[in-house]
Amino acid sequence: MSNTANGSDEPFVAVHETHAAVVFLVGARAYKLKKPVGLGFLDFTTRERRQAVCRREVELNRRIAADVYLGVADVHAPDGTPCDHLVVMRRMPAQRRLAALVRSGAPVDDHLRRLARLVAAFHAASRHAPEISAEGSAEAILRRWTDSFHQVRPYRGTVLDDDLAGEIERRTVDFLTGRKELLDDRIAAGRIVDGHGDLLADDIFCLDDGPRVLDCIEFDDRLRWLDGLDDAAFLAMDLERLGAPQLGARFLHWYAEFAADPAPASLRHHYIAYRAFVRAKVACLRHAQGDEHAADDAAGHAELVVSHLRAGEVALVLVGGAPGTGKTTLAGRLADRLGAVLLGTDRIRKELAGLPPDVSAAAPYQEGIYTPVWTKRTYTELLARAETLLHRGESVILDASWAGAAHRSAAAETAARCRSTLIELCCEAAPEVAVARLRGRTHAISDADEHVAAALSGSADPWPQAATIRTDETPDRSLEQAARLVRPYECSAA
């Protein structure tokens, strides 16, 4: 008998162990034995439970890898009494494991694109039902996070850094509390599916005739009922953990393309963070079982969690200053840099007046469509539009003079209602630079001239809480300064 399997260098017999199962590899077959454990989120403590979960595993995984899951074998005692059960699978070639290919630096883009198409099609064919859709709500997602928070609490201060864990909880609650409308929209769009729930690179095999995806969650249906983007984000997270964040970002981009999913970047980051926290929790449990490498694994995943929660922070950014200080230029470039939505009072004011943006409505200070009543109406509309976007996970940059403290206070209240971060930037430039800019304007949306600018500057309320951005230096330098204030944390994925 050969001592290798599948015509490769793999040993004919091998054993692999996880926190919940032992897998025996024998020739062309793999046999999975469930451990008789109760881990809080799963219960395999009785033979009957293990039998049921083995059958459920075969049934569910056949949805996406029908030719791999062959059935359930019963293990009998010498007297014929059943004593345990095994999931029987076709053995996959270890050298074609996605994780192994990524670690070796092999090209995998084609495999990932095929995989993204497969997962999107799997989700499109998924069962939909009210009880499944309910798991996509903000309340349900927060409940899953909270369950995990409780399960890792004994490891805070030892396996997990306590301050980091606290930041994770705070950012998670803020995001979900402020994004109910976004998540309700996704439920209405049919984005909540009976998915896989555990898309790990170690369980995906890149074969010549297409990928095989193994080992979906079978022990708790609710953990498999999730947003399709959440499902795909698990693999994006795992690829980043393997040191390939660009691959993770590309996979998630391709998935969104095949699924026609317009989700904001903040939601992608949130789901990647959630998936990393699930792995941190599992690593904590492995640590409790004596795995000497699990503590480092848990800490690494926790760092991944917080990096994505920071990158997915939903922000309301006020970019203000007198006319000619370069605030509109900075606001536009900052929006492009961050992928944020840009709104401005100049355009909204003319829209409310029924004017095209490039048609002049120039008037003396506080006359025409620039009276206090018009200005209040304009800011009210500006903040209403911003609130809608913030609730849907979009960061927003608001280009306005922000000369009035009352308007800034209303913006702060908007950010607080949306559980979003408020960032205030005030542009300043030397007077001669600002005047030269105003005199050199052509086809500008703004109607302000140097006389209006002087009057506005003289009547502006103090703005001590704003960070000053000098815009009479190079545009790139001003942009970098503003970007560091808005996004002090950088994340390389998604």
Q: Which residue is it, tokens 């290919």?
A: 101
- Burial zone of 410 (CB within 10 Å; 0-12 exposed, 13-18 middle, 19+ buried): middle
Rounded to two decimals, the pTM is: 0.88
The torsion defined by the Cα of 116, 122, 128 and 131, in degrees rounded to 10, comes to -70
Q: What share of the chain is helix, strand, coil (3-state, %, to 5)?
A: 50, 15, 30
For the stretch 44-100, pLDDT in tens is 999 999 999 999 999 999 999 999 999 999 999 898 889 999 999 999 999 999 999
Q: Which residue in the block uniquely carries the two structure tokens 């301050």? A: 163
Cα distances from 326 to residues 14, 61, 72, 475, 479, in angstroms, run 66, 57, 69, 9, 11
Q: What is the pLDDT, as a whole number, of residue 292? A: 87
Per-residue confidence (pLDDT) for residue 289, from 0 to 100? 85
The answer, yes or no, to whether residue 7 has pLDDT greater than 70, is: no
* Token representation of residue 346: 């100049």
Dihedral (Cα; 41, 44, 46, 50), 10-degree rounding? 130
> Can you tell me which residue has the tokens 């009998």?
76
Residue 195: closest CA among 165, 220, 163: 220
State pLDDT tens for residues 375-427.
999 999 999 999 999 999 999 999 999 999 999 999 999 999 999 999 999 99
For CA atoms 411, 179, 184, 272, give the dihedral sign. positive
What confidence tens digit (pLDDT) does each residue in 226-283 have?
A: 999 999 999 999 999 999 999 999 999 999 999 999 999 999 999 999 999 999 998 9
d(CA 448, CA 438): 8
Residue 146 tokens, joined: 């909270």
The conformation of residue 189, written as its DSSP 8-state character, comes to T
The answer to whether residues 350 and 356 touch, using CB atoms and an 8 Å cutoff, is yes
Question: Cα–Cα distances in Å, from 450 out to 456, 457, 463?
Answer: 10, 10, 21
Beta bridge partners of 84: 75
What gap in Å lies between CA 265 and CA 462, rounded to an integer? 35
Distance between CA atoms of residues 155 and 18, nearest Å: 20
Report the relative pairing of strands 396-399 and 315-320 from DSSP bridges: parallel
Largest CA-CA distance found in the chain, in angstroms, rounded? 100
Going by their DSSP bridges, the two strands 82-90 and 210-213 should be labelled as unpaired
pLDDT of residue 490: 65
What spatial distance separates the first Cα and last Cα of the chain, rounded to whole Å? 48
CATH assignment of 94-311, given 3.40.50.10090, 1.10.1040.10, 3.40.50.970, 3.90.1200.10? 3.90.1200.10
Percent of the chain surpassing pLDDT 90: 83
CATH superfamily of 315-486: P-loop containing nucleotide triphosphate hydrolases (3.40.50.300)
Question: Are the CB atoms for 190 and 128 separated by under 8 Å?
Answer: yes
Please determine, for residue 494, whether its predicted confidence score (pLDDT) is greater than 50.
no
- Take residue 214 and report the two structure tokens written for it: 């193994």
Residues 122/211, Cβ–Cβ less than 8 Å: no
What is residue 423's three-state secondary structure?
Answer: strand
DSSP 93: P
Q: Are 318 and 482 in contact (CB under 8 A)?
A: no
State yes or no: pLDDT of 172 exceeds 90. Answer: yes
Spatial separation of the C-alpha atoms in residues 306 and 331, rounded to whole Å: 27
The pairing of beta strand 82-90 with beta strand 69-76: antiparallel
| CATH 3.30.450 holds for 13-90 | no
pLDDT for 451: 87
Question: What is the predicted pLDDT for the residue at 448?
Answer: 86
User: Is residue 2 over pLDDT 60?
Assistant: no
Please report, for the chain, the start and end positions of each structural domain, with discontinuous segments joined by +.
Answer: 13-90, 94-311, 315-486
Lowest mean pLDDT among 9-18, 71-80, 85-94, 335-344: 9-18
